[in-house]
Amino acid sequence: MGRLSIKKYYIPGNKFVGLFSLIFFLVTMFFHHTTPSDFSIIHIVHYYMLYIIVIIIAMNYGLIGGILASFVITVSYAPNIYLNIFELKHYHLRSFVEVLMMYTLGIFAGFYSQKLYLEKIKVQNAYKELEAATEEKIRMEKEFAKSEKLRALGQLSAGIAHEIRNPLASLKSAANLIKQGKNVEQLINILISEIDRLNNFVDRFLQYAKFGKNETRQINVENFYNELLEWLKLAIKSTKEDIKIEENFKCDKNTFIEGDLNNLKQAFINIFLNSVEELRLNGKKEKLIEFSAECSKYYVIFSIKDNGSGISESIMEKIFEPFYTTKETGSGLGLTITMKIINEHGGKLDIVNDNGAKFIITFKRVTDENIAC
């Protein structure tokens, strides 16, 4: 058998309450012993006051406190019961019953106060464990956030280094060849091309690093859709690819969204470029881009879908990461910038595979009462 813990039977109560109870007991016993025996009513009052003392001690010091208080009080109140415990007379019966009642009260009051105390200890221990676990969780979350920041910084640095190193290598090689006087005109064209490549990368990186919206205003959805459609047609025409466009506009003329027009155009252009590039390299005979806009009571939903190869699940998880690209000449910032712009405008971007890649962009619609006159 294991050792019994005293905490199961004793409560380390308040010393002031114990001192108060002792004084209360001594005063009561003084009046009890100094009051003539024929004043029975007063003695009954004294007895019930002793009950109160037992309850106070039991509640403050637990089961052991209740039993000890019952013993001390009954010995002081009716010592003859203990002296004649084995030879009780009939006139001792009342006192004996009173002693039993005192013990019963002390044991039950002590038992229930002890139970409440042990439950309180359990709750405090559980709270301490929870607090410790919460602190540990917060610490781990901070460490994780720190490691994620370092990982992102490392990824960002590696991406920048990769994008800059290749054109720098080409510039260095071309400069060395020019120094040797070899095919100068062609090499100068290479220099210009690589410088343009670096400049384009810097522009896209600055766009990625830029936060917030510049000129927020209400944008007519129909006009916005038509401008994007014209841009898509020009982009396809410049590739000289036979790519068909299927357009579908299902919104009222006076439908508006809110945001920065140029930033939103850039977000859509990045998706268009992605789809056009996919179809250009895909090799399919029939090439199609579907561009649609639908409006509900609260939302405007744009959809851009191509009939290319779609996006594999492994790539889907990384497609919005900075500098992640599957293209040899891509910077890996296009879709990252797109997601960033859409998020800044309170929108939502989803990608699904539907016989090709389908981009679904959702914005909150400006309600009729908020439309500018």
CATH class of 149-209: mainly alpha
Distance CA 180, CA 182 (A): 6
Distance CA 7, CA 110 (A): 13
C-beta separation of 63 from 107 below 8 A: yes
C-beta separation of 72 from 65 below 8 A: no
Distance CA 234, CA 253 (A): 24
Please report the pLDDT score of residue 223 as a whole number: 92
Please report the pLDDT score of residue 320 as a whole number: 62
Distance CA 357, CA 200 (A): 26
Please report the pLDDT score of residue 249 as a whole number: 92
Cα 55 to the center of its chain, rounded Å: 49
Please report the pLDDT score of residue 246 as a whole number: 92
Largest CA distance in the chain: 136
Domain boundaries, the chain: 6-130, 149-209, 216-370
Distance CA 78, CA 73 (A): 8
E-only strand ranges, the chain: 216-220, 243-250, 256-260, 287-295, 299-306, 348-353, 357-364
Please report the pLDDT score of residue 157 as a whole number: 62
What are the average pLDDT values for consecutive 10-residue runs of the chain, which has 373 residues? 59 80 81 76 76 83 83 80 72 74 83 84 85 81 66 60 64 73 68 71 61 73 92 82 89 90 85 85 82 92 89 68 56 72 89 87 81 51
- Per-residue pLDDT tens over the stretch 315-326: 666 666 665 555
Q: Tokens at residue 243, please?
A: 């790519």
CA angle (144, 155, 353) in 5-degree steps: 90
Please report the pLDDT score of residue 9 as a whole number: 77
Distance CA 225, CA 257 (A): 12
Please report the pLDDT score of residue 148 as a whole number: 61
Q: Would you state the CATH architecture of domain 216-370?
A: 2-Layer Sandwich (3.30)
